[in-house]
C-alpha cells in the first residue's frame, strides 16, 4: 500500500527504529505513547485488520509481544495487549498492529 504509514515504515521510507524484526513482523515504539512502554507489533504485509490475519500470524504477534515485554522488564509486573479492530474500536491506522502497553498501573478498559 503506497500511502499506508506502517507500510512506509516497513519499507524504511519513514525512519523509525525497529525494536524487533523478522521476515514477517517488526516492532516500533508508538509515536504517542500512553505508558512508559508502548510498542506496536506490526506485520510487514498490508493486513488491514485482525479479521484478515491467519492464526499463525496472530500467534506470532503475541509471541513477539511476550518477548518484548520481557526485554522491557514488564513481564512480571504485567502489561496489556490491545488490537483495535474496525471503526467502533477506534482503529486509526488500517494496517493490523498489536499494542504492547505497560510500565504503569493500567485501570479499566476505557
Interface residues toward ligand AMP, by CB under 6 A: 5, 14, 16, 28, 30-32, 40, 84, 90-93
Smallest gap from Cβ 58 to ligand AMP, in A, equals: 16
Q: Could you confirm whether 97 is annotated as catalytic?
A: yes
DSSP string, 56-94: HHHHHHHHHHHHHHHHHT-TTT-EEEE---SGGGT--SS
User: Positive or negative CA dihedral for 93, 96, 103, 108?
Assistant: positive
Smallest gap from Cβ 65 to ligand AMP, in A, equals: 14
Nearest to ligand AMP of 18, 24 (CB atom): 18
Smallest gap from Cβ 1 to ligand AMP, in A, equals: 14
- Active-site pick, 38, 95, 97, 99: 97
The residues carrying an active-site annotation are 97
Amino acid at each position: 500500500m503506497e500511502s499506508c504509514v506502517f507500510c512506509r515504515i516497513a519499507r524504511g521510507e519513514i525512519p523509525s527504529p525497529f525494536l524487533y524484526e523478522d521476515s514477517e513482523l517488526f516492532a516500533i515504539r508508538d509515536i504517542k505513547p500512553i505508558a512508559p512502554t508502548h510498542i506496536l507489533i506490526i506485520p510487514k504485509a498490508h493486513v488491514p485488520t485482525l479479521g484478515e490475519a491467519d492464526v499463525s500470524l496472530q500467534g506470532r504477534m503475541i509471541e513477539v509481544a511476550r518477548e518484548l515485554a520481557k526485554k522491557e522488564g514488564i513481564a512480571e509486573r504485567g502489561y496489556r495487549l490491545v488490537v483495535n479492530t474496525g471503526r467502533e474500536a477506534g482503529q486509526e491506522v488500517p494496517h493490523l498492529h498489536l499494542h504492547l502497553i505497560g510500565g504503569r498501573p493500567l485501570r479499566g478498559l476505557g
